[in-house]
Amino acid sequence: MTADDMQAVRSTRYNATVSDLKRIHSDLLVMRVQPDHARGNYLAGQYCTLGLANFEQRAPGCQEESLKPDDFAKLVRRSYSISHSFYAEGTNSLRNTAEDGWVEFYIVLVRENLDGRVPGLTPRLFQLDVGSRLQLGEKIVGHFNLEPVKNNAQDIVLLSTGTGEAPHNSMAADLLRTGHTGRILNACCVRLAKDLGYLETHRKLMTQYPNYTYLPLTTREVTVGGSKKYIQDLITSGELEAVLGHTMKPESTHVFLCGNPKMIGIPAKNKETGVWEYPQSQGVIEILEKRGFLADNATTKTHGNIHFEKYW
């Protein structure tokens, strides 16, 4: 493609600008994107798409990509949950997203997929800088939000892995800003402490809001969490309820899950028997359903007190 061809694609297909960029480390960043169009309001936990053309540069050290000539002008897109940095710029007050026009994303660089699929978008996103142009989906959608929470005094437990923390940050910010009185426990499991991109913000929040607790967990080093552990360990060890100060009860608790499917553990219907079965590796859904909780089920249109976003 010629430079003019590429500029023609950018001018007709791109509709947003990177307005701020914080690089946590080489493979993790927080990006704010300002759309050309009116953004509109959205619910905490929802998502939209980001897109870049295939001709855009990719970060070095990523899985090699082979494209046909006709593919270069096409856009590669992916859905991302909208994140939240909590505070309005330069203040100790919580930001109200209805008062600004940009959206924030928490993105990890996928260098290689184990299933053979070449990562198309994140290697290109990591080549952007403030002022770079890209495509932002005009629709912000998703059923993973706080609508099931009808009681201001209920406990809200947010459990995530990696950048699956993004929608939970939006939820926690919304709950705190609107005066939720129940306990809010936000736990995130990562490999290394450096992967906790919002850690200092969460620590500040805990000093400001007595009903808010952030639990950082690491699986490959003993650091902020005190020991190596997974989300499932947090529940089965009793630590989660020790932090809450009481037993989790289905009638007074909503649990939100986002991240690694193995952590979530979504049941699937056995095609031969028609019976719903848990995955072989025990996930949070199985642990909690055995304690009387009930996960949402889109197939049967059943709504429970365990809500999840696959994210992968």
pLDDT of residue 225: 56
pLDDT of residue 205: 97
Neighbouring residues of 138: CB distance < 8 A, sequence distance ≥ 6? 15, 35, 37, 48
3-state secondary structure of 228: strand
- The domain locations on the chain are 3-136, 155-309
Question: Residues in the chain, how many?
Answer: 312
What fold, for 155-309? Rossmann fold (3.40.50)
pLDDT in tens, 289-304: 999 999 998 777 888 9
- Enumerate residue ranges in the chain where pLDDT < 70: 116, 223-227, 311-312
What string of DSSP letters covers 146-177? STT---TTSEEEEEEEGGGHHHHHHHHHHHHH
Locate 190 and state its tokens: 């990562």
Do 155-309 and 3-136 fall under one CATH topology? no
DSSP letter, residue 99 = G
Kindly report the pTM of this predicted structure.
Answer: 0.94
What fold, for 3-136? Elongation Factor Tu (Ef-tu); domain 3 (2.40.30)
DSSP letter, residue 214 = E
